[in-house]
């Protein structure tokens, strides 16, 4: 569960906050070939630190690790549920976020959960996108497991991580998996079956 950034060994579970100033200096002063990447990482972490210090982080991305998919389905048992996986590095995901705002408004009888598939270092960017789309009051999770293939498999055995990905969960627990945009015919038919607008 460790990864190497320059000469630094890092484990988010054992070494404390990732915005540690000593860690930032180590990343920035890494080999010249990695300097641009290290500086970008440092800037992202510094921005997150500023948001956290000022209390500007309004969203609470709950941890999404192994077993989270089943737990979310269990929590919402008996109601139609949509679990939508997205990323800030996925242009279609970003483009359709405002459509999710409309879907939630039009279909209040359906529970919607968003799962951000980015690393923790991109969580501040994800929050900015969510707030811009008007989804800050929605239910949000963020990947917290380095073995993402297991997270994909738990949602759908044939899913390999393509985004956007949506799991449509019927009140009886039946799951329809959709890889693609919100306006996919499978999503439209599933919503119509639920007697929605």
Whole-number Cα distances in Å, 61 to 68, 93, 107, 124, 173: 13, 17, 23, 10, 24
Domain limits of the chain? 62-97+108-193
pTM of the model: 0.71
Which tens digit of pLDDT belongs to each residue from 142-180? 999 989 999 999 999 999 999 999 999 999 999 999 999
The model's pLDDT over 120-150, given as tens digits with 9 standing for 90+, comes to: 999 999 999 999 999 999 999 999 998 999 9
Q: How far is CA 157 from CA 22, 66, 94, 125, in A?
A: 41, 14, 25, 29
Weakest-pLDDT range from 5-9, 91-95, 148-152, 176-180: 5-9
Work out the angle at residue 112's Cα, subtended by the Cα atoms of residues 111 and 115, and round it to the nearest 5 degrees. 145
For residues 48 and 123, give the distance between their C-alpha atoms in angstroms, rounded to a whole number.
8
Q: In CATH, what class is 62-97+108-193?
A: alpha beta
Cis check for the bond before 164: say yes or no (omega within 30 of 0).
yes
Distance, in Å, from the CA atom of 133 to the CA atom of 135, rounded to the nearest integer, reads 6
Percent of the chain with pLDDT over 90: 66
Cα 164 to Cα 85, 108, 113, distances in angstroms: 6, 22, 13
Q: Pairing relation of β-strands 139-143 and 62-64?
A: parallel
pLDDT for 21-64, tens place per residue?
Answer: 455 455 455 554 455 555 555 555 554 444 444 444 457 899 99
């Amino acid at each position: 569960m460790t990864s190497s950034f320059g000469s630094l060994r890092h484990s988010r579970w054992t070494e404390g906050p990732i915005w540690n100033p000593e860690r930032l200096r180590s990343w920035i002063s890494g080999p010249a070939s990695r300097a641009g990447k290290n500086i970008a990482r440092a800037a992202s972490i510094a921005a997150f630190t500023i948001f956290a210090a000022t209390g500007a982080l309004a969203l609470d991305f709950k941890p999404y690790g192994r077993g989270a998919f089943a737990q979310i389905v269990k929590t919402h048992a008996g109601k139609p549920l949509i679990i939508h996986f997205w990323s800030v590095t996925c242009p279609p995901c970003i483009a359709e976020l405002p459509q999710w705002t409309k879907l939630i408004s039009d279909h209040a009888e359906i529970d919607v959960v968003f799962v951000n598939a980015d690393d923790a270092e991109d969580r501040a960017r994800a929050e900015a996108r969510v707030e811009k789309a008007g989804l800050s009051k929605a239910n949000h999770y963020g990947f917290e497991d380095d073995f993402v293939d297991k997270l994909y498999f738990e949602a759908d055995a044939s899913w390999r991580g393509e985004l956007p990905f949506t799991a449509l969960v019927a009140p009886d627990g039946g799951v329809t998996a959709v890889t693609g945009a919100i306006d996919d015919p499978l999503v439209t038919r599933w919503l119509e079956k639920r007697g929605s607008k």
